[in-house]
Amino acid sequence: MNKTPHIEVDKEGVIAETILLPGDPLRAKFIAETYLENPVRFNAVRNAFGYTGTYKGKNVSVMGTGMGMPSIGIYSFELIHTYGVKNLIRVGSCGAFQEHLNLYDILIGMAASTNSNFASQYGLPGSFAPTASWTLLKKAVDVAEEKGYPVYVGNILSSDIFYDDNPDVWKKWANMGVLGVEMEAAALYMNAARAGVNALCILTVSDSLVTHELTTSEERQTAFTKMMEIALELA
């Protein structure tokens, strides 16, 4: 049996080289059941549901990663180093920092600023800038244009803190042009960079720190379909 402390797979080759990584395991289940042909669940450890099927004839997997950089750091490391995954695409939700962004807008993280200490493990003599893989980024933008889906490409913030003691600290990031905030991409980008594989983060705006608009948990689980469709085309 091929397994790690957090992923159990009962046979070789059941995880595809391209995987979509939503934070919510129920979003992984929704993607598998809605878009994949003949999906087979390969993981249920800690309810981090993972599935593999085909999309337009190509093998693709999808798996929930939970919330935060420690969680996606664990899952992406195991997927890369034990299961040979080459393309890791986070499909998540984010809070908008900019006034021109609306609910359901799609953001693509060209880079991921962070307040995390995740990069300290590498002992670098300076600050590392976590960036997306150009190959996946360009293809995602091309796919979005073909489908007629407007996207915003730029810097996002991967934060370790959801409830910040300073509720206005986000404005400092907004002043630097950061589009919005999520909690995972920087760790994913760093794990991928260190391993020499590809990673990308595609996000849907679920709330706005500017207008205080919100989506529901059900909408976050099942209604963010445009970003899912873009990501699936990258397989």
2-232 fold = Rossmann fold (3.40.50)
Q: Is 73 within 8 Å of 87 (Cβ atoms)? A: no
pLDDT classification of 220: cutoffs 50, 70, 90: confident
User: For the segment 64-86, what is each residue's pLDDT rounded down to a tens digit?
Assistant: 999 999 999 999 999 999 999 99
Q: What is the CA radius of gyration of the chain?
A: 17
Question: 199-232: string of b/e by CB count within 10 Å (b at 16+)?
Answer: bbbbbbbbbbbbeeeebeeeebbbebebbbbbbb
pTM: 0.95
Average confidence score pLDDT of the chain = 95
User: For the segment 152-202, what is each residue's pLDDT rounded down to a tens digit?
Assistant: 999 999 999 999 999 999 999 999 999 999 999 999 999 999 999 999 999
Tokens 């190959």 sit on residue? 135
Query: Is residue 105 annotated as part of the catalytic site, yes or no?
Result: no
User: For the segment 101-154, what is each residue's pLDDT rounded down to a tens digit?
Assistant: 999 999 999 999 999 999 999 999 999 999 999 999 999 999 999 999 999 999
Q: What are the DSSP calls for the chain, one per residue?
A: -EE-SS-EESSTT-S-SEEEE-SSHHHHHHHHHHH-EEEEEEE-GGG--EEEEEETTEEEEEE---SSHHHHHHHHHHHHHTT---EEEEEEEEEE-STT--TT-EEEEEEEEES--GGGGG--SS----B--HHHHHHHHHHHHHHT--EEEEEEEE-S-SS-SSTTTHHHHHHTT--EEESSHHHHHHHHHHHT-EEEEEEEEEEETTT--B--HHHHHHS-HHHHHHHHTT-
CB atoms within 10 A of CB 67: 15
- Confidence check: pLDDT of 11 > 70: no
pLDDT of residue 3: 83
pLDDT classification of 12: cutoffs 50, 70, 90: low
pLDDT of residue 13: 60
35-47 mean pLDDT: 92
pLDDT classification of 47: cutoffs 50, 70, 90: confident
Distance, in Å, from the CA atom of 154 to the CA atom of 64, rounded to the nearest integer, reads 24
- Confidence check: pLDDT of 222 > 80: no
| Residue of 105, 164, 165, 207 marked catalytic | 207
18-22 mean pLDDT: 98
CA neighbor of 132 nearest in space, from 155, 160, 116:
155
pLDDT of residue 10: 73
pLDDT classification of 1: cutoffs 50, 70, 90: low
